[in-house]
Structure 1
Amino acid sequence: MSKEEQAMKGLWDMFKKRMWLDSFRMKESLMAYNPSEIHCIAYIGEDMDSNVTKLAESFDMTRGAISKLTKKLINKGLIESYQRADNKKEVYFKLTSQGKKIYNIHEDIHREFKDRDQPFFNQVTEEQLDVILDFANKYNTHLDAEIMKLGIKMRSDNL
């Protein structure tokens, strides 16, 4: 196996393990909700002016898919829609008290992940992080160029 293949395998294995560990804990605490619902709640909790357009752009999903998702969250009592006095055309979303509880659980879990991994990162030097960041930026730029060659817009459902 070439070094390039070893590097990609190592990154993929690391990613899978991190996703498995994180999803295991998320499912344990938030099993009643799917990942897109949790991410939508998290986004709305962070952005005071969340609307269909912002959510669609952020998640790289269609406005129709976001409309379905937000309707589902409204029906579950996790978010509510509103209009601002200065813009009666646009519909915005905010968390309900139940949505805020889910948001806070999600944030607490992410803090747990950071605390879990911090001892490892305390051993990593600035120079090592710089090499990793440089690699990630260059490889992402390469992949973006390859995606553009295909002439398609990348959507999260294409991943």
Structure 2
Amino acid sequence: MNKEDQVMMAFRELYNKIVWLNKDKMEASLKGYKPSEVHCIEYIGKNADSNVTKLAESFYMTRGAISKLTKKLINKGVIESYQKSDNKKEIYFRLTKQGEVIYKIHEDLHQEFQERDKAVFEQITEEQFDSMLSFLDKYSRHLDVEIKKVDLDMNAE
């Protein structure tokens, strides 16, 4: 197995371990909410004036799928839609009080998991962090280019 395969396999394995370790606690604390719903709540909580387009771009989902997701969250009472007085065309989302509770639970869990894993990150040097971040940035930019190609192909059809 070459180094590229080793890196990709290690990323997948690491991700799967994190998901497995966090899953039970997340599901117990956020009962009744799917991961996509929680991530949508998180995005809206962190980003003012969230709308369907911004959410779709962030989650690499269609606007139709985001519309369905936000309707579910509105029905659950965790987000609400609003319009700005200067732009009656665009619909934005914000958290309700109940949504803020879910957002806080999720943030607290992330903090707890970060504390659990702190011992590893404390051993990483600045140079190692810089190297990893540089690789992730390069790979992310490459994937952005590939995503644009797919979008162009889909729009050409």
TM-score higher than 0.5:
yes
How many residues were matched structurally? 152
Deviation, 1:32, is 0.9
Deviation, 1:141, is 4.4
Matched with 1:133 is 133
Deviation, 1:47, is 1.8
In 2, Cα distance between the equivalents of 1:85 and 1:73? 24
Counterpart secondary structure, 2:94: strand
Query: Kindly, what percent of the aligned residue pairs are identical?
Result: 60
Residues 58-137 of structure 1: matches in 2 within 5 Å? 58-137=58-137
Deviation, 1:2, is 3.6
* Alpha-carbon displacement from aligned partner over 1:45-104 (angstroms, at most 9, x marks no partner): 112211112212222222211111111111111111111212111111111111111011
With normalisation by structure 1, the TM-score equals 0.83
Matched with 1:157 is none
What value does the CA root-mean-square deviation take over the aligned residues?
2.2
Deviation, 1:10, is 2.6
- The one-letter code matched in structure 1 to 2:88 is K
Identify the range of structure 1 (21-30 vs 114-123) with the bigger mean alpha-carbon deviation. Answer: 21-30
Gaps of 5+ in 1: 155-159
Residues 139-154 of structure 1: matches in 2 within 5 Å? 139-144=139-144, 147=146, 151-153=149-151
Matched with 2:155 is none
- The one-letter code matched in structure 2 to 1:75 is N
